[in-house]
Structure formats: C-alpha cells, structure tokens
Structure 1
Amino acid sequence: MNHRQCDISASTQGELGILATLPRPVYGHVLGINNRAIGFPHSHAWAQFSYATEGVLEVRTASGRFIAPPLRGVWIPAGTEHSVYCSAYAQLRSLYVDPGAISFSWPECKTLTVSPLLRELIREFSEMPVEYDEQGSQGRLVSVLLDQIGLAAEAGLSLPWPRDVRLQAICDDIQEHPENRHTLIEFSQRLKLCERTLSRLFMQQTGMSFRQWRQRSRLLFSLSLLAKGERVTDVAIACGYESMSAFIVAFKEQMGVTPKELFPTHG
C-alpha cells in the first residue's frame, strides 16, 4: 500500500495522552484525534474499531496486516500494539470502546464487514456529543451500535506475518515489489535453505503456502491502487498478473466482488 504520510507532532502525542480513560464507554467524535492515522507502534487500554469511509485503511501488528477497503473495518483489541496507515485522501472513522462495554471477546485483530446499518450508526454516533446521554436515546443508539459490531461478518482481509526473520525478509520483498515473480526456489537459494524447508516454514508460521501468501499480498496491495482510481489493467500489471482477466478472477475469489464492484466510481 502507498501509505499516507503520518504527521504526528508532539502536541498530537500529547492529545493522545489525555485519553487515559474514555469520557464515555464509546468515544469517537468526527473531529476526534482518533480519526488520524497513527503510523508508529502504540497501544491503549481500550478496543478500537476503524474504517475508511473513503480510501483504504491498514492496521499492522506483530502478527499480521489487516486491510479494510470501503465498507470493511478493523477491530483492534485493547492492549494490542499496532500502527495505522491509510491510502492518500482516505477519510477515517474510528471508535474507541471500553472493553467492559462489549459482550463479545475477540483476542486478535480482525477485519469486519461494515453493513449499511452499521455505517449509518457510526455516522450518527460521530455527530453526537462526546459526553452523550447514556440513559436516553443516545445511550440506546450506542448499545445497538456495539451489538452490530459484534454481529458483523468477518471479511478475512488479513495477511499473517511470520516471526522468523528470514521469512520476514521474503515477505518484505514481496510487499515492496509485488510485480516480481521470484519463485520459492529462488528465495530458498538466496537464504541457503532447501525449498521444502522454506515451504514448511511458510505453512507453519502463516498457515498459508508461499503461493497463497503472495497472491493475497498482491491482491491486498491492489486495493490502494484501485482506491486512487488507477485502471484495472495497470493495477493487474503492477501486482504481477499476466493479464487483467487473471487478476479479476483472483480478486473476485478473494474479495467476493470484482474491482469495479468494490470501487464503482473507477474504471
């Protein structure tokens, strides 16, 4: 992903420090500091749910990369160290949630589908006062909002990240140069490992084969290019596909929709 430059000043970090506790069980005003991409590793005592109303959002943790194109969001459990990036011109919506306010327990980050109802609930909540009335209609809206997050379907747009530094070097190479078509044999020769050992390591540490991991990495990388309005043909080439049709087939298999269906304003 071509990430937006994160401008985190000392004053911004100071504002974040103010939120030692949340003013209400859910915090997420439209003008809040939580709607900026924080590109350095950090954690907090509350859970976080973020999505991009426009553009593409990426959350990175030690265990993986979690990507959210439009109508997808990322759930980040309390205490999880993470960094947040987004494509150029992305517009973020984020909620900070007191762990005691939720009935579900998700120990790991995950990408979720944002239904039309959930999207409208978040939009309405973002316009409410920070210290909303917990006992009235605003409090009831928050309860429904949290219920809808808990019921949201998992989107599966994540990329497991290996712990082995040798595999990390391969993964970094693939992400920086998605157009390259280096084979597993070539990577194994570079690392002085036999192909079978490298293949086994990939499966053990990511739960995916080398081929599966690379394809998902390429497809997730394509999201930021599509969000910018680049032509599908150009995106396919940039992601290492031999043809636009092969890219579209792989994209729909992974995303459930075609590139044009996910980004309907682009050709």
Structure 2
Amino acid sequence: MKHRQTDTPAAVVAPEEPSRLAELVELPRPLYGSTHSLPNRAIVEPHDHPWAQLSHALRGTQRVETETGHFLAPPGRAVWVPAGMRHAVTCSPGTLMRSLYIEPAAMLRPRPECEVIVVSPLLRELIQAFSELPVRYDDAGADGRLVGVLLDRLAVAEQAGLMLPWPEDPRLGDICRQLQEKPADRSSIEDHACRLGVSGRTLSRWFLHQTGLTFRQWRQRCRVLASIPALERGERVTDAALGSGYESMSAFIAAFQEQLGATPKDFFSSDY
C-alpha cells in the first residue's frame, strides 16, 4: 500500500494563528486546517471543543475514544467528532495525522454522532487542496466554492463501521479494556463472570444491554480491529491473525470479512 508523503504530522494550526487550538476563541473561517502544523501530538486526555473535527491518519492508525465507543481509523478512513463531544486521541508509532475543524452551522447535513467514515479519493484530494489554502481563505471566491464541495462530500461520506461500542458500567469497561490490551486472551465469559461474582448468563445480559453486542461478537470485533495496525504496517496476515487471537488464517480472514465486508487484502488495496 502506498502513502502520500507530502504532508506534515498532526495538522491544525498555522504559524500566524495561536500555537494551541485551545487558545482560539473562534475559527478564522468555517473550515480550518493547514499543512503547516505542530509536531504530531495526539491529545490523550479527554477534551472537547465547540467545533466538529475530522481527523484522519495519512500514515499509521489513530484511535478516538469517547464515553460510548472507541473508533479506529487507518489510512483511507477518518473519525468524525461532533462539536462539544468529549474525546481522547491515541496513535500508533509514526502516525502522520491531519485534522480539520468545522463550524457546525457550515455542514450541509448534520452528523450528530461520532463515527468512522471512508475518505474517498475525491474527498482526499479536496482535503489536500484545501490544506494548501491560506488560513483566511477567500470564502466568497473560488476558495469558498472548493470548501463548499469539500463539505458536501463530507456530509455524504460513507460510514466505515470501525468502532467498538463501550459500556457505561466500569466493571464491563475493565473487561473491555483487558480484551483491547490483550486481544489473544482466551478467557471465557464465565471466567470474567466468576471474577465479578455473577453468573455467565447475567454478564452476557449486561454485555448485550450496554453494547448491543454479545460478548462473543464484541470480542470478535475487538480482535479484528486489533489486527488493523499490524496489517497497516505491512505485517503478514498470518502474524496479524495470531497476534489478535486467531489460531488459523482462514478463521481470521472469515472474521475480518464478516466485520468489515472485505478481506484484509482488499481492505488495504486502495492507493492512499
């Protein structure tokens, strides 16, 4: 898989603007972003801002965590964070990011939920073209028309489904965090239930109620998503499968296709 190398890390703040996004009282234009940027610096502490955010990795993989879900975006995908939503961002080593910040009123169609979207070739090129504009672009001229097309394409961008619903109950959250950190862990739901002092049936019911997924479904999605950073780095499918808890490559490919609608090869086939 090829990557564009014309971009600098984690992108939002131009030299003529404040050095930190938090210092901004308002965006200089309805859409804000630049190739001029600070060193890549994911904000791991929960935070929010009054603007919507589109954040995607040009190389590497980023994860955005909210109170209700964890969202994974490899190249070719981006995380949409609505205005005012608390979130934290972590990245795999060597990640190159770009973020756009958008006044909510500028969106042609609201996207009220945090979600992972597909960055189509057209949307990618529009973002690239926009990043070369001055921060205070002419919103009444050609630059403003380019922004209008970008926002239009963003409004209709396809969802990618790369998310794990997160439970409210901290006990379930601890189990989910353990599965994320060690996707190859083979502890059964009965094992986890025993540690909590409840029955496996009770824990299954809690899991389904709070995540919308059974324990098995949640763990399978967790394992598939855990394999994506390794696959994005170019590791062998067999190694990614074993590292994420699958005993055979065929079982892994079947689970990957079930969750993401494509084989690992097809998922990473786009020239991004």
* TM-score in same-fold range (> 0.5): yes
How far off its partner does 1:57 sit?
Answer: 1.6
**1:60 corresponding residue in structure 2:** 65
| Mapped contact 1:16–1:33 kept (Cα < 8 A) | no
| CA distance 1:29–1:143, change in 2 (3 Å) | same
Please say if 1:136 is aligned against 2:141: yes
Task: Give distance in 2, aligned partners of 1:88 and 1:130.
Answer: 29
> Could you say what secondary structure the match of 1:93 adopts?
strand
Identity %: 54
**3-state SS of 1:74 partner:** strand
TM-score where L is the length of structure 2:
0.89
Report the Cα distance in structure 1 between the residues aligned to 2:35 and 2:228, rounded to whole angstroms.
25
The Cα shift of 1:252 comes to 1.7
Q: Which residue of structure 2 aligns with residue 185 of structure 1?
A: 190
Residues in 2 aligned to 1:76 and 1:132: alpha-carbon distance in whole angstroms = 24
Q: Distance in 2 between matches of 1:69 and 1:240?
A: 20
Q: Which runs of 5+ in 2 are unaligned?
A: 1-9, 11-17
Q: Give the Cα separation in 1 of the matches to 2:45 and 2:268.
A: 29
Q: Alpha carbons of 1:22 and 1:35: their partners in 2 closer, same or farther (altered >3 Å)? A: farther
- Match of residue 116, structure 2, among 87, 111, 126: 111
Q: Which residue of 1 aligns with 2:80?
A: 75
**Corresponding position of 1:43:** 48
Counterparts of 1:166-181 in structure 2 under 5 Å? 166-181=171-186
- Partner Cα separation in structure 1 for residue 232 and residue 24 of structure 2: 32
The residue identity in structure 1 corresponding to 2:174 is: A
Native 8 Å contact 2:111 2:155 kept in 1: no
The aligned counterpart of 1:249 is 254
How many residues of Structure 1 are paired with residues of Structure 2 in the alignment? 254
**Cα separation, partners in 2 of 1:44 and 1:35, compared to 1, 3 Å:** farther
Q: Which residue of 1 aligns with 2:153?
A: 148
Q: Does 1:24 align with 2:29?
A: yes
TM-superposed CA distance for 1:228, in Å, is 2.0
Q: What is residue 205 of structure 1 aligned with on the other side?
A: 210
CA contact (8 A) 2:56 2:75 kept: yes
How far did residue 138 of structure 1 move?
0.5
Separation in structure 2 between the aligned mates of residue 235 and residue 93 of structure 1, nearest angstrom: 26
Alignment root-mean-square deviation, CA? 1.8
Correspondent of 1:124 among 129, 133, 136: 129
Which structure 1 segments of 5+ residues have no match? Answer: 1-5, 7-12
Gap change, CA 1:15 and 1:156, over 3 Å in 2: same
C-alpha separation between the residues in 2 aligned to 1:170 and 1:87? 22
67-76 or 32-41: which moved more?
32-41
**Letter aligned with residue 66 of structure 2:** T
